[in-house]
Amino acid sequence: MPAVPEGFAEAYRLQQARYPKAEPGPQPVHTVYVPADRFSARTVAEWGDQALSLVKAHLPSPGELAEVFGVPGALGAAVHERVVRKLSTEPVEDLRVDFEDGYGVRPGPVEDEHVERAVEAIASMHAAGTLPRRWGPRVKSFADGDPERSVRTLEGFVTGVAARAGELPAGFTVTFPKVLMEAYLGQFAAVLERLEAGLGTRLRFEMQVEAPQTLPFLRGDLNESLGGRLAAAHFGVFDYTAAIGLPPHEQRLDHPACDHARHVMQTALAGTGVELSDGSLAASPASDPYDGRARVVAAARRAGQALAGARLPPGLGHAPVAPGEPVRHRLRLPPGPLRLLPGAGAGLGGAALGRGRGHGRARHDPHAGRRPAPRGRGPALTAPAALIVQSRSTSARHWRTRRHSTGSDQLARTAEPTWKARMP
């Protein structure tokens, strides 16, 4: 009998290709989506300034932070210092220039112009050293029936940045939304392969899981079949729950149908090196900035009480959409509160900004409670202050936070955060 069974070498080769042993490296704590027509070289700095101003206005001292969130003074001091430092030095870790739902459908020449403007802004940020550690566009879905537009935007963006910056800066990735057919993944990977031939660098992408049609082709060899180009899979809770016919009041993150989708994503992609992303909660407290700190304190405490009774799905992080959640979350879960990292969310992202009229009432995700908007016609959102509520979760190693924003002219409109994959 041979010492090595016949076929072992090939099976082991496949195992190594599908399930790499590499340990996950540091991941961004969020992804900020900004509409392409409203993006500029100053966007990241503006978000940081606005978020930092809210911390200083509502939580000017460590003692006030400790009082608001009901944590020990020493922990309040540590979190306060880290939040202020983080927002001052690196307010955005992952940036997407959005040409999809947050941008809408525009005439071809108009989108081409916005691609050029975005390219100029990215090149300027790279030259100034202000480009986030991860960055890139979100293009339109092939499911819209117009892949040419998606590819044209991607090609113009990538080649334009490379030409102006002299190279494609490190950290590039592209988000590919609403994947309804497995074939679209292979076609998009082929587009990336063609583009990278002239760039001298490898291109990867992130897919969005926003429909039940996507779940059947999530499997262990998916990334291998795409040449290892799949970097992450993001769950879109509201598009998904609407697609399976749930009524508005059931379109929520903790619905059993969402548990099922997340478990499919986890089991299918476990060990493949593909990051995972959860969706967002349907609402978070929003306070009237004119009502002052009392309303903010009440909102934060309500958020903490709600989190105390929340069930965290196994292996997933908790989406920090309410102002008190990130700190409360780390206080209640091992390995303990002092493991909070610089992005720790001690602030008042949703609480410090109202949404037009109705300041002080619950702020609802604009996707919740209705069918998905027509392709390319998503609602407008913004949330510079949402940066405050980020934290690096050490309870779920495969999950990191994700932040959607699709823009608004008024700071008074806030964005709904979502939870995105892998933590160190």
Q: What is the pLDDT of residues 360-371, one digit of tens each?
A: 233 334 344 434
Which residues are CB-contacts of 246 (< 8 A; sequence separation ≥ 6)?
A: 255, 257
Q: What was the pLDDT predicted at 292?
A: 52
pLDDT category at 402 given cuts 50, 70, 90 is: very low
Q: What is the pLDDT of residue 364?
A: 34
Q: What pLDDT is recorded for position 276?
A: 86
- Mean pLDDT across the stretch 160-167? 95
Q: What's the rounded mean pLDDT across residues 113-131? A: 97
| 3-state secondary structure (DSSP) of residue 4 | coil
Q: What percent of the chain has pLDDT over 90?
A: 50
Strands 94-98 vs 174-176: parallel, antiparallel or unpaired: unpaired
- Domain annotation for the chain: domains and CATH numbers: 32-418 (3.20.20.60)
Work out the average pLDDT over 375-394. Answer: 37
What the block records as the tokens of 46 is 């503006």
Q: pLDDT class for 3, splitting at 50, 70, 90?
A: confident
Nearest one of 375, 191, 270 to 24, comparing CA atoms: 270
SS3 79: helix
As a whole number of angstroms, the distance between CA 418 and CA 107 comes to: 30
Q: What is the pLDDT of residues 202-223, one digit of tens each?
A: 999 999 999 999 999 999 999 9
Pairing type for strands 275-277 and 94-98 reads unpaired
Residues 6+ apart with CB under 8 A from 345: 83, 320, 323, 325, 326, 327, 388, 389, 390, 391
Percent of the residues in the chain that have a pLDDT greater than 70, as a whole number: 65
pLDDT at 381 over 70: no
> Terminal CA-to-CA distance of the chain, rounded, Å?
45
pLDDT at 300: 53
3-class secondary-structure state, position 138: strand
CA 31 distance to own-chain centroid: 4
At 307, list the tokens: 């989190």
What is the pairing mode between strands 362-364 and 283-285? antiparallel
Q: How confident is the model at residue 70 (pLDDT cuts 50, 70, 90)?
A: confident
Separation CA 210–CA 341 (nearest Å): 30
> Average per-residue pLDDT in the chain?
74
Can the peptide bond before residue 335 be classed as cis, meaning omega within 30 degrees of 0? yes
More confident position, 130 or 421:
130
Q: Can you give the pLDDT at residue 387?
A: 54
CB atoms within 10 A of CB 163: 12
> Which of 377, 361, 353, 285 is CA-nearest to residue 324?
285
Q: Are strands 32-35 and 94-98 parallel, antiparallel or unpaired?
A: parallel
DSSP state of 399: B
Residue 97 DSSP SS3: strand
Cα–Cα dist 356/408, whole Å: 11
Give 309's Cβ-side CA count (13 Å radius).
4
User: Residue 1 above 70 pLDDT?
Assistant: yes
**Which region among 113-127, 147-161, 248-262 has the lowest average model confidence (pLDDT)?**
248-262
Average of pLDDT values for 54-71?
Answer: 87
Side-chain-side CA neighbours of residue 294 (13 Å): 2
The listed range with the strongest mean pLDDT (118-132, 280-294, 349-363) is 118-132
- The model's pTM: 0.74
Residue 132 confidence (pLDDT): 96
pLDDT band at 197 (very low <50, low <70, confident <90, very high): confident
Buried b (16+ CB within 10 A) or exposed e, 111-127: beebbebbbebbbbbbe
Give the separation between CA 257 and CA 242, rounded to whole angstroms: 11
Please name the amino acid found at residue 282. Answer: A
Name the band, by pLDDT with cuts 50, 70 and 90, for residue 293. low
